[in-house]
Chains A and B, each alone.
Chain A
Amino acid sequence: MSAAKETGLHPVQSYLPSADTMARRRRLRYLADTAAAWTVRAGGGGVVVALALIFVYLFSEVVPMFRGASVERTNQFAAPSAADGDDPVLALERYDTIGMRHSADGRLSYFMLEDGRLLEQVQMAVPDGVTIESMAFGEPRSRRVAYGLSDGTAIVVDHETRLEFNDGERSVLPDPAFPLGPTPVTVDDEGRALASLAVQRDRNGDTGLAAQTEDGRLLFVHFETITSFLTGESEVKRQAWTVPSPPGALRELQLTSNLWSLIGVGDDGQLMYWDIANPGSAVLRDLASAVEGDERVTELKMLNGTFSMVVGTSEGRLSQWFLVRDERATAGDNIFSLARVRDFDRHPGAITRIQPEYTRKGFAVVDDAGGLGLHYGTSARTLYLEQVSDVPLRAVGISPVDDQIIVEDDTGTITRFDVWNKHPETSLKALWGKVWYEGRQDPEYVWQASSGSDSFEPKYSMVPLTIGTLKAAFFAMLFAMPLAIAGAIYTAYFMAPKLRGYVKPTIEVMEALPTVILGFLAGLWLAPFLENHIPAVFTVLVGLPLSFLLVAWGFSRLPQSLRLAVPPGWEAAILLPVIALVVWGLVSLSPLIEVWFFDGSMRQWFTDIGITYDQRNALVVGIAMGFAVIPTIFSIAEDAVFTVPRHLTQGSLALGATPWQTVTRVVLLTASPGIFSAVMIGFGRAVGETMIVLMATGNSPVLNFNIFEGMRTLSANIAVELPETAVHSTHFRILFLAGLVLFVITFTVNTIAEVVRQRLRERYSSL
């Protein structure tokens, strides 16, 4: 400014913004810069976090499965019509609003669970001078209880409830029912007291009663309820049989719900099993001791489905038993024997009551030391075992939806608990170990998640699925590895550069080919094709390499001039028509081979020598999935071989090694980590591949390594079952676990491969 004055020039209006504006703009620009930096950090970091969330979320869905049960006391009240020395039966209804109590003196009380208020009481019609001698209850979901009387009769009552809706308000009301009528029905024609009793409702709604009289006779009575179509009246038809008597007095008696078997236990701990499928010729099939020393059996109950029973003893021991088909029996015979399947954690006091759950294979147990336990059959888990009372407990009732429990102690006080026990079926052992399932001969690995039956025992062994996954991946790698690695070495080292420019992109484009297309071709085209041309599989396997050698030998015998006309690195191109020709020839020959050597049908021949052949088998999957992983392995392995520093190979060649020697002794050794990582990544891909295995394996969860049988993989299992399962059920979470296992396997495999590859890159740059 001052300079302008001095020289006498007029100050020129600057076109640049003023210093103020500049400063403001600069501030704005820096502000924008900072804002952008934070936006990018937030966005980019957010994406990274979101990706990490996948793992966290999968994990969070799986964790609840391995939590035990939690039990929380809510309230306490005096039991209605309680008496000293009572031995009541407790039950709850589905909405957890009212409870039911059968007392040993023949009163059925309905009471509110929140305060113990009595709603309704029914007194059993016990004739004068007759007393109640025994009580029995059937499967919990039948809600059926029977009282055995001193005159050889019994009263059967169902503690039903009904729902009523008023203005959208739901109320649960007592609705007791007497399926055989309110008056006692005759069990023992001789009129002796019923010392122990069992009751069960079968699938048709008929009632079975079994009883031991005070003089030791064992009786089985079947009441069939026939409803007339015309009048709507029902009539009860009674049939009675005498069953071979046990050696002594029985402490507990149980019937299966198909009314085919009768289980009893004596005071001395002898378990007994009668086959009464044909009641006229019932027989005592098996005896087994459930105790040691002077331990006594105090309780015996059947779990849901009445396949297995749980025995509780005076020492607080619990064991599960069921009937196993006798190995000595010939096929078709229905001869069973008792088998002790598993034991549970021991209770501190003598077991006083076992109460099975309504829809699962679990049960609640109370003992005379005030302990309450929750156990589960299939997984052999004890989910909860704690002392909840200072006084001995004598009864326990469990909610049909397994979220509430009531217990009654010897003073007649009922305590109610809230229960969280959603996933007792799983444990590490049940998922990964052999489990002895109901109705099976031995402990096994089985995956069978659902069935139509109510009393179905879900079988969640991950072993068949994991083995299936590995089997599929193994055969795929068996097919893909030699082809991809051979191809990669050839392309990178021997192939003419011009050809390489076409070959590499061609194979790499294959990587993008949707696997659903490979799967559909495998299932609909390849599987039937292979089934029709089994011999060709073997002949091609042998024939192709032989033909390559033959061509190679023939080529080496050609006159020099002809040989030199073919530039080096074109071997593969020459072989293309050879392969086409050989494969075509061997395939057309295949039916003839079957006729000549296998009596016209190789498949039949396989069956005859004891090999199962499924149309959709591991061979088909191996080829199709191998096809899917060839490009992956090829591409990475080719890169690894191609980037082996030139001076190494040239040095080797200069020392007089042949190209083949250079490849095997120098190139392969240097590139082996790269090839290894290629194989790992290919393996990772094969493990997680879903559509091909879904479409080409038949999806039966069998456990073997036969190449001609199918399998079910973890991924296909998720695709098949996840859309159908109930949200947050155990099955749902196990499928999430399968997802997590896949995630962890592939992530680990890929990470190892990536680390190896980066190491290799560093080594190359230092060479």
Chain B
Amino acid sequence: MRQWFKSGDPWIWLIGGGLAISLIMVIGLLTLIAVRGFGHFWPSPIVSTTATTAAGETRQVLGVMVRSETLPAQRVREAGQDIPADQELVTRHLIKVGNRDLNGRDFVWYLDSALGELNYPEGALRIERREWGNFYGFGRALERGGQVAARGENLWPQLQEAIARANELHQRIETLERVEIGGINSKLEALRLERRSLELRDVSGQALTAAQADLRARQAELDRRYEDIQAERRALMEESERDVLIAETAAGREVRIALNNIVRASRNNAMGLFDRIGFYGHSIGEFLSGYPREANTEGGIFPAIFGTVTMVLIMSVLVTPFGVLAAIYLREYARQGVILKLIRVSVYNLAGVPSIVFGVFGLGFFVYLLGGTIDDLFYPERLPAPTFGTPGLFWASLTLALLTLPVVIVSTEEGLARIPRTIREGSLALGATKWETLWKVVVPLSAPAMMTGLILAVARAAGEVAPLMLVGVVKLAPSLPIDGEFPYVHLERKIMHLGFHIYDVGFQSPNVEAARPLVYATALTLVMLILILNLSAIAIRNRLREKYRAESD
């Protein structure tokens, strides 16, 4: 044994174990996110069973099994549940029973011993609603304008059709509200600002009367159009209230669900594999392209994806020229010496400065100082409501650009340093000036390095949350930063962001249990985005290395 220890082998195994632990954590983490994230959309079977309460009553339970755990009985007793004294361990299941409007809570823990036999009834219905979360129960009849339109065999196909119709109506109402009414509102706001600006500019006499008359006319026109749209909207609303589904909960209680409150209905237990896959694809599509509902705990994350992408794009536009310029300056133009070495180390070290510090700087310098000045100079009619003097898209992008600048500089510098001297000297020997050599030979050759830098910067920016909390991200933005209103890109608007969405939904939402799957799905989206970006950066870098190895030989 001593001999064996002396050989050093056990130590090698031990440090190998250290590595294996790291690896397993990495793999485990990615697997956990992937399984939970992807699993969220799968139509899980709906369980029907009975639960015996402490008082001995038996109740019907219908819902989806979320997870199970085994605990020492004492822990459950501490939580106030009655467990026989001789029992040491208990297994309990968390079942999503939905029907929050009826039960008050939609997730319930049941002791394994209290549950009866598990059934999977074919007719069990899962209804995703716009309000109150999911409904689990059985369909009984479809009512149309107070008359029963379908029941029994007919119900399911008729219901599907009615839901499709209701969804289409909902879509139209949504469009009316978002686009038409939103447009009118922003025009009304513009009118208000014009009026205010008249006051500020001290317009008087003839000009003032003319301007005011014009404003009044436009206002009247807008009011009229608003009335028209409202009437149309009311008509559509009435239409959409035509159908009502009569359903029954597991406990036998009859419930009326208006079809305009239904996003989707499914009979999970009756689905075949292909149905399931279709449903799955549809759910993922809706998640990626839909708007959030119910305080962000349900629905899609489209605005968050859109906000993240827009912000990152603007950041790229800002960071690339400056990063490249700085790198060229440091590598090609600045006098190499002790001072430059110091500057270089400092710039590199900025990459290690906590991102929240950049956020603090962005809030103080960009938002309050620059933004406040811009407001005073260019938007006096909007004051005291700030335009740029408040966190927003542009400041978020600018802050992240500053944050990722070192990444781009480092990567570009590396690229520039890697260009073989022979190529440079060849160009100079042919009579090209320094700038021509740079612009026509060196920069194109090192473009992939710049690309790598940019991609790494984008990957870092996409995952950064802390500074954004200070300079422009909100939990729910009323409108997207790019839309059909002039000037199309609204740099001053606040945005939603995938990373912040995770934080907000996971930690600030009232119903964490309901939000949990959505957080995993959002996290999965973000992880995939960032992994793809990083892997492409690595691929580009590797190809680049190969290329120059060949060329410099």
Contact = CB atoms under 8 A, between A and B. Distances in A.
Interface of B is mostly: helix
B527 A660 contact: no
Given A514-B463, A520-B502, A715-B356, A591 B328 contact: no
B361 A739 contact: yes
Which of B10, B32, B330 has the most chain A CB atoms inside 10 A of its CB? B10
Interface residues of A, number: 117
Contact of B347 (A51, A57, A579, A695): A51
A636 to B, nearest CB: 11
Interface stretch (B19-27, B145-153, B177-185, B188-196): B19-27
Contacts of A152: none
A42 B499 CA distance: 36
A487 B26 CA distance: 13
Contacts of A33: 433-436
Contact of B15 (A490, A505, A719): A490
A691 B72 contact: no
Contacts of A29: 433, 436
B526 A514 contact: yes
Given A513-B530, A524-B512, A739 B435 contact: no
A723 interface: yes
Contacts of B439: 36
Contacts of B32: 521, 525
B422 interface: no
A746 interface: yes
A611 interface: no
A514 B89 contact: no
B356 A739 contact: yes
Contact of B356 (A47, A495, A580, A690): A690
Contacts of B379: none
Contacts of B11: 660
Contact of B435 (A37, A47, A486, A580): A37
Contact of B364 (A37, A736, A742): A736
Given A43-B329, A591-B71, A601-B74, A521 B349 contact: no
Which of A48, A549, A592 has the most chain B CB atoms inside 10 A of its CB? A48
Contacts of B16: 490, 494-495, 548, 571-572, 575
A572 B353 contact: no
B24 A40 contact: no
A44 to B, nearest CB: 2
Interface string A715-750: 100110011000100000001100100110011011
Interface residues of B, number: 106
Interface in B51-78: 69-75, 77-78
A506 B9 CA distance: 26
B322 interface: yes
Nearest to B497: A516
Contacts of B82: none
Interface stretch (A79-87, A296-304, A551-559): A551-559
B348 A754 contact: yes
Contacts of A684: 352
Given A36-B439, A494-B12, A719-B466, A572 B347 contact: no
A462 to B, nearest CB: 15
Contacts of A167: none
A28 to B, nearest CB: 11
A514 B465 contact: yes
Interface in B2-41: 4, 7-26, 29, 32-33
Contacts of B460: 512
A604 interface: yes
A634 B15 CA distance: 13
Contacts of B338: none
Given A47-B326, A551-B13, A572-B17, A61 B433 contact: no
A219 to B, nearest CB: 51
Nearest to B327: A44
B464 interface: yes
Interface stretch (B165-173, B240-248, B531-539): B531-539
B402 interface: yes
29 contacts: A40-B329, A44-B327, A44-B334, A47-B329, A50-B402, A51-B405, A482-B18, A483-B22, A509-B534, A514-B462, A515-B465, A532-B71, A544-B17, A556-B4, A571-B17, A575-B17, A595-B88, A600-B74, A627-B25, A660-B8, A661-B8, A687-B354, A688-B355, A735-B360, A746-B357, A747-B349, A751-B349, A754-B345, A755-B345
Interface of A: 29-30, 32-33, 36-37, 39-41, 43-48, 50-54, 57-58, 61, 482-487, 489-491, 494-495, 503, 505-507, 509-510, 512-521, 523-525, 532, 544-545, 548-549, 551-553, 555-556, 571-573, 575-576, 578-580, 588, 591-592, 594-595, 599-601, 603-604, 627, 630, 634, 658-661, 663, 681, 684-685, 687-691, 694-695, 715, 718-719, 722-723, 727, 735-736, 739, 742-743, 746-747, 749-751, 754-755
Given A46-B322, A509-B531, A746-B349, 13 more contacts: A44-B330, A58-B360, A487-B18, A491-B19, A495-B19, A515-B463, A523-B507, A545-B14, A548-B13, A552-B9, A591-B72, A595-B73, A742-B353
